[in-house]
Structure 1
């Protein structure tokens, strides 16, 4: 039986590392070496709060209803398949990542306000962390807190690596092929987790 901690880590990472406005901003700040600690900390802490709400709030409610649990598995698998298809499409037809590292310095207050807005005003973050992770976490019963811990760990690892490691990856991610490989990997993980959910019915 696979570990709830590793399952949470894998799903958390897969959801977080999809290319988007938040990651582009963290990457930009990392390339510029501006307020990296605060940007990374806010992203990781926000995810921890949202994941916790899902695991110990919504997840507990869904766990009490067997029928809802089946619906959650099917709905979660469908969402993951859709997400995987979207990632695969990005890998097939990549867009342009806007992580411009030039320009004037961004004040700390502006950086904090920007990362808070990108995190809390994004409707997808509630679907991914509160609803999806919370609901899937509920399927692990008493071990759901390990699943949530794994997802939180994935957030910390990713944002830390992106924020502090981006300066080393700048030459690599200047090439579209790097993002295509990343998105292809995300798609494979999504399909694998969706399959495991459906097989667990």
Structure 2
């Protein structure tokens, strides 16, 4: 069971490690030190639900609904384009008084944005329902459950390390120019991901 759990942890961690829209958003909130705990919980619990579905064998959703992956790709791309534009606009305006003061949007809009980054991202379904679900098929019974727990633990470890570890970068983010560069980088990441979704 330990081996299965470690395999699940390694699988989950390797899939979530890539810089993506969700990770960039969690990083930004971590730098702001705003709503970090509820946002990390939202992302981790969402991953847990999707991993559980994948391990339980619901990866056949895309086969049952052939239009589903493309619909998710289009919705996700539209969302990423809009959010990238918002970050570009923020960089253009250069008004980072609130960011420098450590203030951000209220809790509900922050969680709504976090939920959108999670549930409108087609890659999350590929990773959790598809890849994690596929790897889990080599296990059965208690070992399969241990695999799922390991993959879920990886999500919790990653998001909490990213969200709360971001404060270590706080000394670097004490100027409006640093925030402008971060927003430009986030906009570039968002649009690159959106282009990838549209091409896919």
The TM-score by the shorter chain falls in which range? 0.5 to 0.7
Contact 2:54 2:130 survives alignment (8 Å): yes
Q: CA deviation at 1:18?
A: 0.6
Find the aligned partners of 1:156 and 1:55 in 2 and give their Cα distance: 17
Q: Which contiguous aligned blocks of 4+ residues in structure 1 show a shift greater than 6 angstroms?
A: 171-174
2:124 corresponds in structure 1 to 125
- 1:107-134 deviations in whole A, cap 9, x for unaligned? 1111011000000000010000111101
Alpha carbon RMSD of aligned pairs, Å? Answer: 2.5
SS at match of 2:10: helix
Contiguous gaps of at least 5 residues in structure 1: 62-97, 175-201
SS at match of 2:57: helix
Corresponding residue pairs, total = 135
- 1:65-121 deviations in whole A, cap 9, x for unaligned? xxxxxxxxxxxxxxxxxxxxxxxxxxxxxxxxx9x8x45421111101100000000
Contiguous gaps of at least 5 residues in structure 2: 61-87, 99-103, 179-200
2:152 corresponds in structure 1 to 152
- Normalised TM-score (structure 1): 0.61
Find the aligned partners of 2:4 and 2:169 in 1 and give their Cα distance: 31
1:11 corresponds in structure 2 to 11
Superposition map of 1:38-53 within 5 A: 38-53=38-53
Find the aligned partners of 1:32 and 1:170 in 2 and give their Cα distance: 8
Superposition map of 1:1-201 within 5 A: 3-58=3-58, 102=96, 104=98, 105-142=104-141, 143-170=143-170
Contact 1:58 1:135 survives alignment (8 Å): no
1:198 corresponds in structure 2 to none
- Normalised TM-score (structure 2): 0.62
CA separation of 1:132/1:172 partners in 2, compared to 1, >3 Å: closer, same or farther?
Answer: farther
1:181 corresponds in structure 2 to none
Contact 1:56 1:134 survives alignment (8 Å): yes
